[in-house]
Amino acid sequence: MSFFKNLKDKFTSSNEAEEVSDKYKSGLEKTRQSFSTKLNDLIARYRKVDEDFFEELEEILISADVGVNTVMDLVEELEMEVKRRNIKETNELKEVISEKLVTIYTEGDTSTSALNIKANDLSVILFVGVNGVGKTTTIGKLAYQLKQEGKKVLLVAGDTFRAGAIEQLDVWGERTGCDVIKQSAGSDPAAVIYDGIQAAKSRGADVLLCDTAGRLQNKVNLMNELSKVKRVIEREIPDAPHEVLLVLDATTGQNALSQAKEFSQATNVSGIVLTKLDGTAKGGIVLAIRKELNIPVKLVGLGEQMTDLEVFDPNAFVYGLFSEMM
Amino acid sequence: MAFEGLADRLQSTIKKMTGKGKVSEQDVKVMAREVRLALLEADVNFKVVKDFVARIKERAVGSEVMESLTPGQQVIKIVKEELTALMGGEQSKIAVAERPPTVIMMVGLQGAGKTTTTGKLANLLRKKHNRKPLLVAADIYRPAAINQLQTVGKQLDIPVFEKGTEVSPVEIAKEAVEYAKEEHYDYVIIDTAGRLHVDDELMDELNQIKESVAPDEIFLVVDAMTGQDAVNVAENFDKQLNLSGVVLTKLDGDTRGGAALSIKAVTNKPIKFIGVGEKLDELEPFHPERMASRILGMGDVLTLIEKAQDNFDQKKAKELEEKVRSASFDFDDFLEQMEQVKSMGPLDELLGMIPGANKMKGLKNVQVDEKQLVHVEAIVKSMTKAERKDPSLMNSSRKKRIAKGSGRPISEVNRLLKQFNEMKKMMKQFSGMQGGKKGKRKKGFNFPLM
């Protein structure tokens, strides 16, 4: 059975799956359209597999921010494949291309993208990332989702630096009906998070969502501050934080790799939240991050509404990218 | 640094070619590919790169490269020249309305840094141009956005005009301009909500604001880390609003910022300012040449020199230079130098400006922590005068005393002494380089300056 048929079957077998993939499809409409149209267009224009064809393929992938190194590796592999299978016509290559892309996502991956949230005990989730990627908004959305699932959720305003950050989280607390633990602006974030953990313990919360201030990954002091926050969490609850989520703006280019590297080093990132995927940005850098650092994407932000947060499903993501080609 | 700079890339390419007396057309092709990769890695849009590389190739095939003894340097020179030309001249001027107030509209995607930039711009107008600005909170959508601008306003002591979240942004903007006229403000800076360039409804709202207040400037605020999509964003905003300029934010990160080039190439609108830090005075005029260096990964020597000139005592600097040359640099000089460097700004920022610094042994993994500076200072100040003059006096009982005096562990004292010695070695490299001829440059520290 071909790869596409596999995927297609998977998504037409149940209504629920259809619903999920519809949401992805609408969220990724722009990505999908431009990417697969370009690919189809390319294949139509170049009947023969040659150097120009590969150069243009390179450009299509790069235009999706896939990451220069990843693209170069991929194209090299394809060139080998072409030689091995003696492929001459470009339409024979279509499936190979998509197959390779999916492999990068799924290679050696047995874990699900579900969040590590314990059934009967407190789970702590720490959110990290550079400025303006949507950490606080993501926390609001996730709080709403967890609340819908019947969990008792507590928020901690660990961004004590940016003007209006505490108030922003407060608004989300009100919207979602979750309590917010906070101190005044300018206080020590580790101390605020400590308070949050104590409050979560004494109030019997199921999930504690910790906001932190946005910081650029090359600021050593600020990254140290973040490591300290993590250490405080570890000290209070030995197996916490249960997730450290790096929030990544889908419009970010190659720098996302450096972000993933540095934040992992400081806080041992366990997953990525890819935000703002409802624009024209492709978020292709996720491929490179997966390939080079093996960090999975766990959640996807697809809009500004409280409900616009989806669990990342690599198959659905890929389906969204390629559905027009099937 | 996450990526190799173009200079390093070309150097390694050329190394492969050495032995040849001349550069062939094929070699130029290889070099062009390196240029292309470097630009793509810097997030320059691939279409822009394509046109650009075609132009470079044309020039490079010409005699200026083929007959040059240093073809790599020549290519870099051409690339940098073309890049600088493409990015336009310096244009950090802000329009002035015939009749005040001058109205500035800030637009952009979510999280680009509009509110912070709004505050910085107001601060700049007041500080450098002695103007009286009014901030307008027209982001009624994002939770606590108004609050954020108010906090920024309070920090700067600049008034903020707001009407809460129930009044439409168009109405807020209109009333704000009226208010500014009555109260004789020179500038009105309108902070709008972040929005996607494909969100027709919200883009239409921006158009309505534009029609009702007729702004003199419309600035698109763009995150310097933006990837290939920067082109789509800028194109759309420009098509709908006819932008007057661009502000690039978060350039204090380690991004190359190729988005700057993409945006300029696609919209042909000038980049006017860059945001280089979280503090409210960290907004600088845009220098095309420096941006070109940065995109190519060549460091920013000009800014470094400028900062040094701003803050360094010329006479002391000269003395220091002498000492560096003669290798008679001691801990007293070290202390003095530290004081001077501290006055220049964050150290990691300065290090990033030194071309090739990331390649240098000893500097490669230096993590700059300002707090450590305080410790270092304490250690040096715990030394006796004799010890500062002659570090070779150091023995274990002296070290113990210094550790006690400074309240730092003895391992730290040892580390500092070791680093000091390494630094002296490095200085020899520097001074050797300054006077050296081309062939004598030390390996691993090749000044990619033309």
Q: What is the distance between the alpha carbons of residues B89 and B222, in angstroms, rounded to a whole number?
A: 19
Give the separation between CA A183 and CA B292, rounded to whole angstroms: 43
Looking at every residue in chain A, the average pLDDT score rounds to 82
Residue of B nearest to A57 (CA): B46
B-chain CB neighbours of A132 within 8 Å are: 110-113, 223, 250
Task: Provide the pLDDT for residue A210.
Answer: 96
Nearest residue of chain B to residue A140 (CA atoms):
B143
Top pLDDT among B134 and A17 is at B134
Q: Is A52 on the interface with B (CB under 8 A)?
A: no
Which residues of chain B neighbour A185 with C-beta distances below 8 Å?
151
Interface size A-B, in CB pairs within 8 Å, comes to 159
Task: Please indicate whether, in this complex, the C-beta atoms of A253 and B259 are within 8 angstroms of each other.
Answer: yes
Percent of chain B having pLDDT more than 90? Answer: 36
Whether residue B320 contacts residue B337, with contact meaning beta carbons closer than 8 Å, is answered with yes
pLDDT of residue B325: 67
Compute, in degrees rounded to 10, the torsion defined by CA atoms A220, A223, A225, A227.
-130
Buried b (16+ CB within 10 A) or exposed e, B292-330: bbbbbbbbbbebbeebeeeebeeeeeeebeebbbeeebe
pLDDT band of residue A31 (cuts 50, 70, 90) is low
pLDDT of residue B69: 62
| Mean pLDDT computed over A1-18 | 48
The whole-number pLDDT of residue B383 equals: 92
Nearest residue to B61 (alpha-carbon basis) of B97, B90, B23, B88 = B23
Per the model's pLDDT, the better-predicted residue between A310 and A33 turns out to be A310
Least Cα distance to B223 among B252, B188, B184, B203 occurs for B252
Nearest by CB to residue A280, choosing from B149, B198, B368, is B198
Task: Say whether residue A29 is in contact with chain B using an 8 A CB cutoff.
Answer: no
Q: What is the nearest CA distance from A58 to chain B, expressed in angstroms?
A: 10
The answer to whether A178 touches A93, Cβ cutoff 8 Å, is: no
The position carrying tokens 């070695």 is B425
Q: For B347-386, what is each residue's pLDDT tens digit?
A: 666 665 555 554 444 444 455 566 777 888 889 889 998 8
Listed residue (A292, A287, A279) closest to A312, CA to CA: A287
User: Which residue of chain B is at minimal alpha-carbon distance from A70?
Assistant: B41
Nearest by CB to B223, from A132, A163, A279: name it.
A132
Q: Which one-letter amino acid corresponds to residue B151?
A: T
Structure confidence at residue A45 (pLDDT): 74
Shortest alpha-carbon distance between residue A14 and chain B (Å): 32
Residue A282 touches partner B, C-beta closer than 8 Å: yes
Cα R_g (chain B), whole angstroms? 26
Instruction: Give the pLDDT mean for A284-309.
Output: 86
CA angle A19, A25, A28 (to 5 degrees): 140
Distance separating alpha carbons of residues B275 and B120, to the nearest angstrom: 8
Any long-range contacts for B271-274 (C-beta under 8 Å, 24+ apart)?
B271/B87, B271/B88, B271/B91, B271/B245, B271/B246, B271/B247, B272/B91, B272/B92, B272/B93, B272/B94, B272/B219, B272/B245, B272/B246, B272/B247, B273/B92, B273/B117, B273/B121, B273/B124, B273/B247, B273/B248, B274/B224, B274/B247, B274/B248, B274/B249
Q: Give this prediction's pTM.
A: 0.76
Is the predicted pLDDT of residue B2 greater than 50, yes or no? no
Res. B429 pLDDT band, cuts 50 70 90: low
Quick check: A68 and B42 CB within 8 A? no
* A134 to B43: CB separation less than 8 angstroms, yes or no: no
For tokens 């989280």, the residue is A169
Q: A170, A254, A277, A308: best mutation site toward chain B, by most B Cβ within 10 Å? A: A254
- Beta bridge partner(s), residue B220: B107, B246
Angle formed at CA A92 by CA A90 and CA A93, multiple of 5 degrees? 65
| Chain B residues whose beta carbon lies within 8 Å of the beta carbon of residue A161 | 278
Size of chain B, expressed as the number of residues it contains: 450
Tokens linked to B275: 């945001």
Asked if the model's pLDDT at residue A136 lies above 90, the reply is yes
Is A62 in Cβ contact with B228 (below 8 Å)? yes
A68 CA: distance to closest CA in chain B (Å): 6
- Tell me how many degrees the CA angle B297-B302-B306 measures, rounded to the nearest 5: 140
Q: Which of B139, B196, B367, B370 should we substitute to test contact with A (largest number of A Cβ atoms within 10 Å)? A: B196
Instruction: Locate B327 and state its tokens.
Output: 């290798």
pLDDT at position B322 is 72
Q: Which of A171, A249, A280 sits opposite B111 (nearest CB)?
A: A249
How far is B253 from B225, CA to CA, in rounded Å?
Answer: 8
Band of pLDDT at residue B3, cut at 50, 70 and 90: very low
Q: Which chain B positions have a beta carbon within 8 Å of A172's beta carbon?
A: 143
Question: A257-293 as b/e, with b when 16 or more CB fall inside 10 Å?
Answer: bbbbbbbbebbebbbbbbbbbbbbbbbbbbbbbbbee
Residue B66 CA to chain centroid, in angstroms?
A: 34
What percent of chain B shows pLDDT beyond 70?
74
Cβ of A59 within 8 Å of Cβ of B46? The answer is yes
Q: Locate tokens 């010329």: which residue?
A: B314
pLDDT above 80 for A13: no
User: Chain B closest CA to A31's CA: distance in Å?
Assistant: 11
Asked if B227's CB is within 8 angstroms of A68's CB, the reply is: no
pLDDT tier for residue B135 given thresholds of 50, 70 and 90:
very high
More confident of the two residues B59 and A229: A229
Q: Is the dihedral of CA A76, A80, A86, A92 positive or negative?
A: negative
Q: How far, in Å, CA of B350 to CA of B304, rounded?
A: 7
Identity of the amino acid at A81: E
Q: What does the pLDDT read at residue B23?
A: 67
Buried b (16+ CB within 10 A) or exposed e, B143-158: bbbbbbbbbbbeebeb
* Closest residue by Cα to residue B41 from B296, B231, B265: B296
Predicted local distance difference test score (pLDDT) of residue B29: 82
Q: Is A251 helix (H, G, I), strand (E, B) or coil?
A: coil
Using an 8 Å CB-CB cutoff, list chain A residues near B225: 130, 249, 252-253, 255-256
Please answer yes or no on whether B111 and A257 come within 8 Å at the CB atom: no
Maximum CA extent, chain B: 77
Q: The dihedral of CA B235, B236, B238, B239: what is its sign?
A: positive
**Quick one: pLDDT at residue A280?**
74
pLDDT digits (tens, 9 = 90+) for B68-105: 666 666 777 788 888 888 888 777 788 888 888 999 99
CB atoms < 10 A from the CB of A41, how many?
Answer: 12
ipTM of the complex, rounded to two decimals: 0.82
Residue A165 in contact with partner chain B when CB distance is under 8 A: yes
Interface test with A, best of B47, B225, B237 (most A CBs within 10 A): B225
Is A167's CB within 8 Å of B144's CB? yes
Angle at A289 between CA A287 and CA A290, to 5 degrees: 65
The two tokens of residue B249 are: 């934010």
| Confidence label for A25 from pLDDT (cuts 50, 70 and 90) | low
pLDDT of residue B60: 77
What single letter denotes the amino acid at residue A227?
A: S
Evaluate if residue A205 carries a pLDDT over 80: yes
* Strand ranges of the sheet holding A179-181, from the earlier edge strand across to the other edge: A179-181, A153-158, A207-212, A123-128, A243-249, A271-275, A297-301, A309-311
Q: How confident is the model at residue B450 (pLDDT cuts 50, 70, 90)?
A: very low
| Partner-chain contact B253 A162, CB within 8 Å | no
Q: Label residue B394 by pLDDT band (50, 70, 90).
A: confident
Q: Which residues contact B365 (CB under 8 A, 6 or more apart)?
A: none
Chain A residues inside the 8 Å CB shell of B250? 130-132, 216
Backbone angles phi, psi at A181, to 5 degrees: -90, 130
Q: Residue B432: in which H helix or E strand, if any?
A: helix B410-435
